[in-house]
Amino acid sequence: MKRTLIAQALDSKNDNSRILIKGWVRTKRDAKGFSFLEVNDGSCLKNIQIIVDASNPAYEILGEVNTGAAVEVTGALVPSPGKGQKWEVRANDIRVIGHADAESYPLQKKRHSDEFLRTIAHLRPRTNKYGALFRIRSESAFAVHQFFRNRGFYYLHTPIITGLDCEGAGELFRVTTLPPVSAEPEEADHLFEADFFGKEASLTVSGQLEAEMFACALGNVYTFGPTFRAENSNTPRHSAEFWMIEPEMAFADLKDNMDLSEELVKNLIAHVIDHCGSDLELFSRFVDKNLVTQLEIIAKESYVRLPYGEAIEILKASGDIFEFPVDFGTDLQTEHERFLCEKHFKKPVIVYNYPKQIKPFYMRLNDDNTTVAAMDLLVPKIGELIGGSQREERLAVLKQRIDESGLNRDDYWWYLDIRRFGTAPHSGFGLGFERFLMMVSGVTNIRDVIPFPRTPRHLEF
Ligand code: 4AD
Ligand code: MG
């Protein structure tokens, strides 16, 4: 017999059909004359209830069935008299596929803390909360591809190993095949020479520079892949390995970029609300009671668009005490970003035209010579969800920005070439996929929305 997923079984229209279920036991309860098993196979949040009569020869085997065991059940799908479920299975036969030791199985019936579950990241997807979260993660990833595909964007795979620091923040993980040696700075070049690529190599912090090349050939492209940053900040919003969605559009300016970012966020939220109903409900019940209301605001209301200079004025006039003081020229910290969208505007805010000295070299210089055509999309609870810009398409200006940033023009010869041959205005941004998942689930620590988190001093699994 073909295996039926529990999601399908619970959705069934047919009474009394014979089915085969495979899954892991969540609980076992004994009553007079029969036992109940709650089995989950990961296909949905709900378990299916299995009833085993004491008169059934399979009843004997229940002694071996503990929480966590993998089992196979054949039986009839019948209407359930119990509350909360339409169907249950009257077992004909039960087989234990894999035993679990009741004493040492770490997932007990009680609720475990997120901190504890992080230490068993290999088992936490078997809990209701993490099962739901990672189904939402999967569905959201598909929604990203669907969004861009429907709009004629091509999906581009940019390299994971690179020779450049796109963001210029020096947060690179080095890639090497050489044995570890501690080199004096003056010997470093010599060492890189002997290394696999014959030059310094690292894991990418962003696929943007390469995406620009393809936007200036295929028109509209996007990348969606892992990025790596050796930021030694142990914050609940930073991870050393995270996934980023980076669209890049040719013949597009900052306004087009803001429009796309707003449309993308709204569309992804609407998709999750439409397709992940019961999983999402778990988060609005147990994690954040206002979750769905908040998501509906973000999915429906139009976002505030605010020049950086005005944002600074609002923050200065707010009377709020911030840990980091603000003034024109300082970068916005999470506390400022959250003030703007949680307290002041009560909805997402796109801040644009940041001072050039706090932004990377590739952002287009504005006519005022002090700001660049940058944009950050800020959302309640998270702060920065998206960072992007219109790119500098003027060769002379770009060369000067590279010099000013202390970078070497020769390293960027191909990046400059695009400005030599048919240069065109183009724009793009990066959306942090984990931050998006934190927003839709209400989960407040980035370690809990990525299957196996990588953070400073943490590389288990
Ligand atoms: O603002 P960022 O640094 O922008 C870029 O990397 C651009 N090259 C993107 C582009 O224009 N194509 O990063 C983009 C987003 C941030 O807004 C944030 O959501 C996320 O990536 N992000 C992180 N997420 C988790 N952990 C980290 N350490 C992150 N750093 C950035
Ligand atoms: Mg940023």
CA 386/CA 206 separation, integer angstroms: 13
Closest ligand 1 atom to the C-alpha of 389? Answer: 11
What ligand is nearest to the CA atom of residue 354?
2
* Predicted pLDDT at 234: 84
* Close Cβ partners of 317 (under 8 Å, ≥ 6 residues apart): none
**C-alpha 233 to ligand 2 mean position (Å):** 14
Any ligand 1 atom below 6 A from CB of 363: no
Radius of gyration of the chain (CA): 27
Any ligand 1 atom below 6 A from CB of 384: yes
Residues in the chain with pLDDT values less than 70: 183
Residues facing 203 on adjacent strands: 161
Write the residue with the smallest CA distance to atom 1 of ligand 1: 387
For residue 387, give both structure tokens: 């960072």
Residues facing 428 on adjacent strands: 248, 389
* Predicted pLDDT at 184: 77
* Predicted pLDDT at 188: 76
**C-alpha 458 to ligand 2 mean position (Å):** 24
Q: Assess contact for 353 and 328: CB atoms under 8 A.
A: no
The domain over range 6-98 is classified in CATH as 1.10.10.60: no
For residue 241, give both structure tokens: 């390995």
Which sequence spans correspond to the domains of the chain? 6-98, 125-448
CA 62/CA 28 separation, integer angstroms: 9
Any ligand 1 atom below 6 A from CB of 434: yes
Any ligand 1 atom below 6 A from CB of 208: yes
CA 247/CA 148 separation, integer angstroms: 9
Residue among 147, 346, 343, 172 at smallest CA distance from 262 = 147
* Predicted pLDDT at 110: 84
**C-alpha 456 to ligand 2 mean position (Å):** 20
For residue 456, give both structure tokens: 């400073």
Ligand 1, pocket-test mutation among 435, 437, 449, most atoms within 8 A of CB: 435
Top CATH class of 125-448 equals alpha beta
Closest ligand 1 atom to the C-alpha of 385? Answer: 19
**C-alpha 1 to ligand 1 mean position (Å):** 48
* Predicted pLDDT at 357: 95
Write the residue with the smallest CA distance to atom 24 of ligand 1: 432
Q: Assess contact for 149 and 216: CB atoms under 8 A.
A: no
Residues facing 19 on adjacent strands: 75
CA 450/CA 396 separation, integer angstroms: 42
* Predicted pLDDT at 82: 83
Any ligand 1 atom below 6 A from CB of 387: yes
Q: Which helix (H) or strand (E) holds 335?
A: helix 334-338
* Predicted pLDDT at 16: 77
Instruction: Please report, for the chain, how many H helices and E strands are present, in that order.
Output: 13, 15
Please tell me whether residue 147 adopts helix, strand or coil conformation.
Answer: helix
Residues facing 38 on adjacent strands: 27, 49
CA 129/CA 158 separation, integer angstroms: 33
Count of other CB atoms within 10 angstroms of residue 125: 16
Write the residue with the smallest CA distance to atom 18 of ligand 1: 432
Residue among 447, 430, 446, 429 at smallest CA distance from 438 = 446
Q: pLDDT tens digits, residue range 112-146?
A: 999 999 999 999 999 999 999 999 999 999 999 99
For residue 412, give both structure tokens: 């960027």
